[in-house]
Amino acid sequence: MSVANSQPRRTRSGSRRDEAARLAVLHAADDLLAEHGFGALTVEAIARRAGVAKQTIYRWWPSKVEILLDTLIEDSGKRLPIPTDKPTAEGIRGYMRAFARFVTRDPAGKVLLALIAEAQHDPATAKLLHERHLGPRREQERDMLARAIDAGAISPGLGADAIDALVGAIVYRALTGSSVPYRLVDALCDDLLGARTG
């Protein structure tokens, strides 16, 4: 071990991935979804809009769903962080409010809705969506809840499943084109979390 050894170097010659092309594709997909809906989201249209060859898309993404997934993960990580510090009822309520806003107002929220939808039509999408987004996020959300329960800040009748009920109620409103006012989110939290606070 150690020593000045040269490992069977993976030489990796050749051009590296073009970051500009990668971003152009992600943005084009996002924009097309926002502007013309999922129906207009064809690989051909994305390529056209991004000024990129179709082959470049197929080289890096197995399907257009994975493009959306990439934007979703990047955006939701940035714009909808899961609170990790104070396990209070207010903290959770704040997160749910942010989630409600995300899913109804943020373009990335539309991406989430589109992916949930597409998952109904295609099992492969369902698998991907769970593995790369829904699963990990649910994990963290349940953690958040569990810590709040431990701290005695809340005592939901559903236990950690309360998070699904909250998220589900909000997502369903979004899916059916209804608004999700704070009043409604707060009432949901009150009912489902058994919170001490008002």
Partner DNA sequence: AGATAATCGAGACGGTACGTCGGGTCTTTAA
Partner DNA sequence: TTAAAGACCCGACGTACCGTCTCGATTATCT
By the criterion CB under 7 A, which residues form the site for DNA?
Answer: 9-18, 21-22, 24, 40, 42-45, 51-56, 58-60, 63-64
CB atoms near residue 31 (< 10 Å) = 15
- Cα–Cα distance for residue pair 71/112, rounded to 1 Å: 10
Q: Which does 77 bind (CB under 5 to 8 A by kind): DNA, a copy of itself, none?
A: none
Read off the amino acid at residue 175.
L
Query: Which tokens in the block code for residue 72?
Result: 């979703």
Shortest separation between residue 190's beta carbon and a copy of itself, angstroms:
6
* Sheet strands (E) in 16-77: none
Q: Which is nearer to a copy of itself, 26 or 192 (CB)?
A: 192
Q: Residue holding tokens 């959306």?
A: 68
Q: Which is nearer to a copy of itself, 84 or 131 (CB)?
A: 131
- Cα–Cα distance for residue pair 180/100, rounded to 1 Å: 6
Q: Which does 15 bind (CB under 5 to 8 A by kind): DNA, a copy of itself, none?
A: DNA
Return residues touching a copy of itself (CB under 8 A). Answer: 37-39, 113-114, 116-123, 126, 130, 134, 156-158, 161, 164-165, 167-173, 175-178, 184, 187-188, 190-192, 194
Q: Which does 73 bind (CB under 5 to 8 A by kind): a copy of itself, DNA, none?
A: none
**Counts of helices then strands in the chain (DSSP H, E):** 10, 0
Shortest separation between residue 114's beta carbon and a copy of itself, angstroms:
6
Q: Which does 51 bind (CB under 5 to 8 A by kind): a copy of itself, DNA, none?
A: DNA
Shortest separation between residue 85's beta carbon and a copy of itself, angstroms:
27
Q: What is the DSSP letter of 16?
A: P
> Which candidate, 71, 154, 7, places its Cα nearest to that of 166?
154
State the DSSP H helix or E strand holding residue 3, giving kind and residue range, or none if neither: none
